[in-house]
């Protein structure tokens, strides 16, 4: 290292694990970077943020601004999908040091001497310039060298236009570079903001007893679109194994008419690259994709890397499975749960490289069919190295692809999956019910260090999970949980039609399994039921699309309200209306409380009234000052979703809302 490189660069943020993994952003976002940069002595430092697309060789630069205490900040916009690189450079700047010191000098003789030093500096700067800039700098240098009047000379030296030109041609021979290049993965906006709807295609038939098809799914598209969902997620659509097939409610012995679990993948008709014949053909799937796109809906497929006992892989590649001492293949289990109809892969097989290659081929096959969204089943039971290799390879060719991690497991495992490439992650929201639990968890998600790479997608229910709150809370519980999901998180999903129709019966007391679960049998749903929450959910999704503050997670701030059964929070996004949400967490009883509004944060003053427009329940309220009264009855309105607006009074009508 050249000893003349005096600037020190430390603590560049954001970075994940010292740059081992990339941070994540979505198209059009600003990447804000901070760094400590300083030098010995009293010289002034200049600091530059450098960035480029990973496939480019030339860097772009933006000057970082001082925040105080040798901390600097700069930002750049990501305008293309894929990977960007960024780093920081800094140097001790002689010209800037001279100019800063000249501003503080007051002795005329001292100033005149400093002007001659400045003339030499400007002459040096001019050598790096050209054309009119060079001529201007040389002329200024001559005038400074000839100065006899200290005040006039200093005025000339401190001219802002001269400074602007000189700063464009710094002496960077001894600049220091941060010791690594950091990366950011840029995903589509759907990775940050979107609403997902899950349904089982085999349950979409309107005829009792008939197996639903992909064509029946087509008829569901207007229903899903009307509710305002961006993504239709389909559980596995592959052939289902016949050996050890499960019957209704997970019984071990199935009858001939029982369809089995879609996650028991593979049979004589094919494996992970085939479609269950009862659902249709690849041509039917292509048509569904096309029609969904016309409705503004993206199709997400389930990727479950496991096999039914009669999957072709079992016969063709027995080396990919683990055998027990009795010669049978070890089925999947997570005691006390047992999955006799599923064989997991043995990822420690000597043939692991071929196994990885085949699983990557499966994903690439469906990408070739137009799929760009994958919900991955239980990724935490497969090697991290597989996901890092697969997702890295896929996104290098198809940066628009998004992988959603369905991993309800230990926090560090969930975070590692996000680091190795998953664009979204399931969360513990399903089991966070109290005010304290929700505040602590979402503060961690939205403001903890993991937010740089872990994007939450929250679900109040899934086919595997019917939480106790929904089992016992009645209609209000479903309204409360979907409101929380849709407003706390920019990305959320529901498993329907079970959710909007209030399916709440567990298989047995103390279980989170549904009675008559769609995982093991076909269901028929009455989508026209008068008590359906579909209109309520549609209203929530419309609010989300109309309010930019709800489309990001980082603007979340919890607000004080003096009732433990009431949760209050604000979402803000620069340049847009703030949204304030108040939810009654008790599905049985009405609650009230005094809400503390952070007026200054919303650009409000204590002496002026302001309007709270309720987008969810309708109506508006005129508030003034920081403390205001809120009451919510779960038998009527479970929540307010307010947009905060300044109130303007007319001369004629003192309290008329404009």
What does the pLDDT look like over 301-310, one tens digit per residue? Answer: 999 999 999 9
CB atoms < 10 A from the CB of 113, how many?
Answer: 13
Compute φ and ψ for 648, nearest 5 degrees: -115, 130
- Please work out, in degrees rounded to the nearest 5, the angle formed at the alpha carbon of residue 375 by the alpha carbons of 373 and 376: 130
Catalytic annotation, pick one of 36, 175, 310, 406? 406
Mean pLDDT of 126-140: 95
Q: Is the pLDDT of residue 648 over 70?
A: no
Band of pLDDT at residue 543, cut at 50, 70 and 90 = very high
Where are the CATH 2.60.40.10 domain residues in the chain?
1-92+183-187
> Is domain 1-92+183-187 given the CATH code 2.60.40.10 in the classification?
yes
- pLDDT number for residue 606: 94
Displacement of CA 153 from its chain's centroid (Å): 55
> Which segments within 100-154 are labelled E, that is strand?
none
- pLDDT number for residue 234: 98
Q: Is the peptide bond before 365 cis (omega within 30 degrees of 0)?
A: no
Percent of the chain residues topping a pLDDT of 90: 95
Mean pLDDT of 386-408: 98
pLDDT in tens, 623-637: 999 999 999 999 999
- pLDDT number for residue 647: 64
**Using an 8 Å Cβ cutoff, are 465 and 426 in contact?**
no
- pLDDT number for residue 334: 82
Band of pLDDT at residue 291, cut at 50, 70 and 90 = very high
Collapsed DSSP state (helix, strand, coil) of residue 524: coil
Mean pLDDT of 591-601: 97
Q: Indicate the pTM of the whole model.
A: 0.95
- pLDDT number for residue 649: 55
State how beta strands 23-26 and 182-187 pair: parallel
- pLDDT number for residue 185: 98
Catalytic annotation, pick one of 377, 503, 553, 586? 377
Q: Is 218 a catalytic residue?
A: no
Those residues with Cβ within 8 angstroms of residue 575's Cβ, 6 or more apart along the chain or in another chain = none
pLDDT in tens, 334-351: 888 889 999 999 999 999
Where are the CATH 2.60.40.1180 domain residues in the chain?
556-646
Mean pLDDT of 367-371: 98
Where are the CATH 1.20.58.80 domain residues in the chain?
94-170
Q: How far apart are CA 106 and CA 41, in angstroms?
A: 22
Mean pLDDT of 463-488: 98
Q: Is the pLDDT of residue 657 over 60?
A: no
Q: How far apart are CA 145 and CA 99, in angstroms?
A: 15
Band of pLDDT at residue 652, cut at 50, 70 and 90 = very low
Mean pLDDT of the chain: 95
pLDDT in tens, 551-584: 999 999 999 999 999 999 999 998 899 999 999 9
Whether the CA torsion 638, 488, 373, 303 is positive or negative: it is negative
State how beta strands 402-406 and 424-425 pair: parallel
Q: How far apart are CA 297 and CA 493, in angstroms?
A: 14
**Using an 8 Å Cβ cutoff, are 144 and 153 in contact?**
yes
What angle do helix axes 108-127 and 150-157 make, rounded to 10 degrees?
Answer: 30
Domain at 556-646, CATH homologous superfamily? Golgi alpha-mannosidase II (2.60.40.1180)
Mean pLDDT of 156-184: 95
Note the helical H segments in 489-579.
534-546
Compute φ and ψ for 312, nearest 5 degrees: -55, -30
Those residues with Cβ within 8 angstroms of residue 638's Cβ, 6 or more apart along the chain or in another chain = 476, 479, 480, 483, 583, 584, 587, 632
Percent of the chain residues topping a pLDDT of 70: 98
> 424 to each of 66, 92, 373, 485, how far by Cα in Å?
34, 42, 11, 15
pLDDT in tens, 198-239: 999 999 999 999 999 999 999 999 999 999 999 999 999 999
pLDDT in tens, 251-284: 999 999 999 999 999 999 999 999 999 999 999 9
Give the residue among 210, 290, 192 at the shortest CA–CA distance from 257: 210
- pLDDT number for residue 651: 46
Mean pLDDT of 408-418: 98
Q: Is 406 a catalytic residue?
A: yes
Give the residue among 414, 594, 463 at the shortest CA–CA distance from 201: 463
Question: DSSP per residue over 567-604, as a string?
Answer: EEEEE--TTS--EEEEEE--SSS-EEEEEE--GGGGT-
**Which residue(s) pair with 183 in the sheet?**
85
Q: Is the pLDDT of residue 654 over 50?
A: no
- pLDDT number for residue 287: 98
94-170, CATH topology level: Methane Monooxygenase Hydroxylase; Chain G, domain 1 (1.20.58)
- pLDDT number for residue 646: 79
Q: Is the pLDDT of residue 653 over 90?
A: no
Question: DSSP per residue over 58-88, as a string?
Answer: SPEEEE-EEEETTEEEEEEE--SSEEEEEEE
Of 104-113, 358-367, 451-460, 469-478, the one with minimum mean pLDDT is 104-113
């Amino acid at each position: 290292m050249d000893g003349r490189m005096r600037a020190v660069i430390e603590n560049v943020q954001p970075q994940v694990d010292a740059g081992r993994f990339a941070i994540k952003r979505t198209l059009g976002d600003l990447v804000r970077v901070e760094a400590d940069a300083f030098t010995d002595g009293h010289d002034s430092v200049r600091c530059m943020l450098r960035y480029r697309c990973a496939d480019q060789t030339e860097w772009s630069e933006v000057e970082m601004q001082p925040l105080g205490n040798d901390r600097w900040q700069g930002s750049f916009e990501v305008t293309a999908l894929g990977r960007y690189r960024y780093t920081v450079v800094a140097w001790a700047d002689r010209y800037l040091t001279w100019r800063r010191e000249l501003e503080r000098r007051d002795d005329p003789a001292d100033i005149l001497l400093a002007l001659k030093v400045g003339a030499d500096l400007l002459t040096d700067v001019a050598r790096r310039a050209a054309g009119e800039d060079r001529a201007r700098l040389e002329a200024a240098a001559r005038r400074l060298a000839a100065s006899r009047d200290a005040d006039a000379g200093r005025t000339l030296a401190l001219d802002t236009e001269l400074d602007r030109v000189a700063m464009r041609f710094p002496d960077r021979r001894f600049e220091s570079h941060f010791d690594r290049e950091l990366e950011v993965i840029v995903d589509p906006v759907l990775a940050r903001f979107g609403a997902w709807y899950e349904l089982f295609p085999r349950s979409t038939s309107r005829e009792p007893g008939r197996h639903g098809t992909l064509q029946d799914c087509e008829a569901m598209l207007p229903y899903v679109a009307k509710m305002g969902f961006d993504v239709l997620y389909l559980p596995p659509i592959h052939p289902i194994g016949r050996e050890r097939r499960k019957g209704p409610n997970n019984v071990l012995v199935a009858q001939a008419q029982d369809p089995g679990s879609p996650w028991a993948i593979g049979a004589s008709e094919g494996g992970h690259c085939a479609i269950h014949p009862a659902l249709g053909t690849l041509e039917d799937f292509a048509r569904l994709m096309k029609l969904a796109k016309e409705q503004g809906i993206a199709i997400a497929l389930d990727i479950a890397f496991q096999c039914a006992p009669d999957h072709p892989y079992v016969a063709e590649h027995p080396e990919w499975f683990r055998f027990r001492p009795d010669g049978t293949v070890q089925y999947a289990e997570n005691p006390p749960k047992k999955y006799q109809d599923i064989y997991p892969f043995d990822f420690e097989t000597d043939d692991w490289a071929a196994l990885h290659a085949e699983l990557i081929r499966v994903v690439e096959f469906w990408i070739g069919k137009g799929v760009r969204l994958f919900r991955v089943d239980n990724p935490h039971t497969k090697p991290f190295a597989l996901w890092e290799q697969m997702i890295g390879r896929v996104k290098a060719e198809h940066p628009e692809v998004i992988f959603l991690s369905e991993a309800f497991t230990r926090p560090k495992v969930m975070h590692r999956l996000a680091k190795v490439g998953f664009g979204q992650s399931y969360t513990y929201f399903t089991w966070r019910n109290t005010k304290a639990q929700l505040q602590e968890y979402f503060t961690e998600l939205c403001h903890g260090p993991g937010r740089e790479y872990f994007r939450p997608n929250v679900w109040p229910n899934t086919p595997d999970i019917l939480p106790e709150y929904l089992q016992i809370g009645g209609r209000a519980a479903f309204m409360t949980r979907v409101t929380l999901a849709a407003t706390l998180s920019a990305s959320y999903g529901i498993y329907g039609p079970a959710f909007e129709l209030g399916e709440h019966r567990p298989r047995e007391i103390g279980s989170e399994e549904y009675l008559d679960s769609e995982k093991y049998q076909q269901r028929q749903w009455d989508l026209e039921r008068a008590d359906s929450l579909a209109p309520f959910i549609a209203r929530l999704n419309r609010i989300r699309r109309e309010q930019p503050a709800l489309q990001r997670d980082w603007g979340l701030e919890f607000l004080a309200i003096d009732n433990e059964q009431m949760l209050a929070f604000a979402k803000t996004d620069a340049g847009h209306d703030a949204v304030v949400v108040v939810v009654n967490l008790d599905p049985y009883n009405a609650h009230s409380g005094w809400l503390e509004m952070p007026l200054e944060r919303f650009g409000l003053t204590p002496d002026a009234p302001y309007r709270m427009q309720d987008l969810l329940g309708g109506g508006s309220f005129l508030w003034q000052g920081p403390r205001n009264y809120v009451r919510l009855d779960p038998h009527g309105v479970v929540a307010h979703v307010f947009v905060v607006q300044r109130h303007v009074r007319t001369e004629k009508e003192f309290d008329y809302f404009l």
